[in-house]
Structure 1
Amino acid sequence: MRKKYLEIGKIVATQGLGGEFRVQYYCDSADVICSFDRLFMGKDKTEYEVEKARPHKTLAVLKLAGIDTVEQAKTVVGKMLYIDRDDTELPEGVHFIQDIIGLEVRDADSGRVYGKVTDIYQHGAADVYSLKTPEGKELMFPAIPEVLLETNIDEGYLVIRPLEGLFDGE
């Protein structure tokens, strides 16, 4: 199921005295989180206008409207930041990781259900998807066109054709 709000980062510390704070972002780069005009905070998804945003080492530094002092910034440390799905557009065939986690993984030839996607590792040339079988075993497969044949977010499944030997010994 597609979520309306997607986690984009977590506030980890204050920055200076003017209400800025540091964010550990969950996107490809700090530039992504810095490109949004509005963000949503906390479990209630309170909307904030982004007044300033810049990359800072391995984090992003943000200043949101209404958070103007270090004391106010301290009260939001530890909170999650979200974007509204409608504020961004992905290219055809590209999906948010949060939409893929939890999808059922099916075999293209037999229809067998291998399990559900539990994690995605982004290393090297291709992402690697981790799934948990109904028996609790972890299996992994590369998200390459030869293996990952279909991603259907709306219906809640992936279709794969494992390379020979990939799931041997499962």
Structure 2
Amino acid sequence: MTDPRVCVAAIAGSFGVKGEVRLKSFCADPEDVASYGPLWTEDGTQSYEVTLARSITNGFAARLSGVRTKEEADALKGVRLFAGRDVLPDLPDHEFYHADLIGLAVFDTGGTQLGTVRAVHDHGAGDLLEIHGPNLKATVLLPFTRAVIPTVDVKGGRIVADPPDGLF
């Protein structure tokens, strides 16, 4: 938990001609994204107050402070927006921000290091940890379930996994 910010949204492009953007929220309650503001760009050079206009397919039409034209909104396509940890809710036990899992070492139940978490993916059927390591020929996707991942020690920088046979 060294990064004081967490990615909570991404701009998917402009919406309409009056400077609104298509906003994809990564929050458990998607509407909460507007309450964590201001939201910052990844490099920390720009911040935006977010006002959700309406729900649209795969996100929201939103207004960002200072963005007034379609061209300005178009220029923000792909920008990820971050909120400070201090404004985010505390999570219950056994729940984690994806940002806290990335970079953790993954060990099997015998103590052998399998790799590190490169990314966390959610395709709708549950989270998958993307594991990368020098002894792996390819990236491995590990289901992020209590049965497969019995221990997550964010402070200790490690995950203990009991992967299905043949996965590694």
- TM-score by structure 2 length? 0.78
Matched residue, 1:149 = 150
Whole-angstrom distance in 2 between the partners of 1:18 and 1:87:
30
Q: Take 1:97 and 1:20, find their aligned partners in 2: how far apart are those partners?
A: 28
Which whole-Å CA distance do the structure 1 matches of 2:54 and 2:21 have between them? Answer: 11
Distance in 1, matches of 2:54 and 2:12, equals: 15
Output aligned runs, 1:48-127, within 5 Å: 48-89=48-89, 90-108=91-109, 110-122=110-122, 126-127=126-127
Report if the CA contact (8 A) 1:102-1:117 is conserved: yes
RMSD of aligned C-alpha atoms? 2.7
In the alignment of these two chains, the number of paired residues is 166
Which structure dedicates a bigger proportion of its chain to strand? Answer: 1
**TM superposition shift of 1:120:** 3.1
Letter of the 1:120 partner, please give it.
Answer: V
Choose 1 or 2 for highest CA Rg.
1
CA, structure 1 residues 77+148, in 2 after alignment: closer, same or farther (shift >3 Å)? Answer: closer
Q: Distance in 1 between matches of 2:126 and 2:12?
A: 29
Stretches of structure 1 that go unaligned for 5 or more consecutive residues are none
Letter in 1 for 2:166: D
Q: Percent identity?
A: 27
* Code of the aligned partner of 1:93: H
Quick one: distance in 2 between partners of 1:12 and 1:146? 35
The alpha-carbon distance between structure 1 residues 22 and 168, as it changes in their structure 2 partners (threshold 3 A), is: closer
1:8-27 deviation per Cα after TM superposition (whole angstroms, max 9, x unaligned): 33323222343211123444
Displacement of 1:73: 2.7
Cα displacement (A) at 1:142: 2.8
Compute the TM-score of the two structures, normalised by the length of structure 1: 0.77
